Amino acid sequence: MKRAIRLGVNVDHVATVRQARGVDYPDPLEGALAAERGGAGGITVHLREDRRHIQDDDVLRIRARIATKLNLEMAATETMVAFACKVRPADVCVVPEKREELTTEGGLAVAGRERVLAPLIAKLRDAGINVSLFIEPDEREIDAAARVGATVVELHTGAYANARGDVAVASELAVLRRGAAHAESCGLIVNGGHGLTLANVAPIAALAEMEELNIGHSIVARALFVGMEAATREMLEACRRARETGPAW
């Protein structure tokens, strides 16, 4: 029996629809509870500095009400670390953040920034929070993540998701495969995410090292037509099938 994969559902874009009108619906908490009914093993939210979608109060309400675990994505700042230590989510995923970006563009630069990141990570860990770093599947960054005290790395799957053509896709997949194996050999738990859809998730879910995939935009988009619970269930089934069948290479 192969190890099951966990699906973390990111509900940021439920809040995006709400913020577009400045009203109080749809509620990302309702999205989170429906995702749990669909089999989500965790709920992810990104509290951005510009508060463009998720608000502080959303994090508190989701933390209080979900039955699974909360993964809080945030920038590496003293203010965010203080907020996380107050809320105490199960996991924090540290991400890079630029105000002008549409979504998180690249992985966190860890190598060379160990002295800035290590004390922030230590504070989070002292508060009982698992710390994940969202990084490119690059050996140098993975080694730095292990050195700086992270217990988890979330490998950025964006380059794979954006690759077009069989050769480019296979090449990005090979990078992720090597990265996942290297991270596991460093004693790190390996997660993945960004840009994953029903059409491209299978080869990533089939990577045996992957413990959890964090998926948001494509699930929320699909939920417009089938609802959040069904959209979550579909994605989970696609991940499970891929895990059972194994890699296609």
DSSP code of residue 26: S
| Contact footprint for ligand PXP (CB under 6 A) | 10, 12, 46, 73, 93, 95, 103-104, 134, 154, 193-196, 214-218
Q: Which is nearer to ligand PXP, 104 or 232 (CB)?
A: 104
Shortest spacing between CB 198 and ligand PXP, in angstroms:
12
Q: Which is nearer to ligand PXP, 195 or 243 (CB)?
A: 195
Active-site residue identified among 13, 46, 156, 182: 46
Q: Which is nearer to ligand PXP, 236 or 246 (CB)?
A: 236
Residue 73 annotated among the catalytic residues of the structure: yes
Which residues make beta-bridge pairs with 44?
Answer: 10, 71
The Cβ of residue 86 has, within 10 Å, a number of other Cβ atoms equal to 11
Q: Which is nearer to ligand PXP, 93 or 190 (CB)?
A: 93
Active-site residue identified among 73, 141, 211, 229: 73
Shortest spacing between CB 64 and ligand PXP, in angstroms:
22
Shortest spacing between CB 161 and ligand PXP, in angstroms:
7
Shortest spacing between CB 1 and ligand PXP, in angstroms:
27
Burial of 246 (0-12, 13-18, 19+ CB in 10 A): exposed
DSSP code string of 136-202: -S-HHHHHHHHHTT-SEEEEE-HHHHH--SHHHHHHHHHHHHHHHHHHHHTT-EEEEESS--TTT-H
Residue 46 annotated among the catalytic residues of the structure: yes
| Interatomic CA distance for residues 186 and 143, integer angstroms | 7
* Main-chain phi, psi angles of 203, to 5 degrees: -65, -25
Shortest spacing between CB 13 and ligand PXP, in angstroms:
7
Q: Which is nearer to ligand PXP, 94 or 173 (CB)?
A: 94
Residue 13 annotated among the catalytic residues of the structure: no
CA angle 209, 75, 190 (to 5 degrees): 5
Active-site residue identified among 53, 156, 182, 194: 194
Shortest spacing between CB 23 and ligand PXP, in angstroms:
22
Q: Which is nearer to ligand PXP, 26 or 193 (CB)?
A: 193
In contact, 153 and 183? CB cutoff 8 Å: yes
CA angle 224, 218, 181 (to 5 degrees): 155
**Catalytic sites, residue numbers:** 46, 73, 194
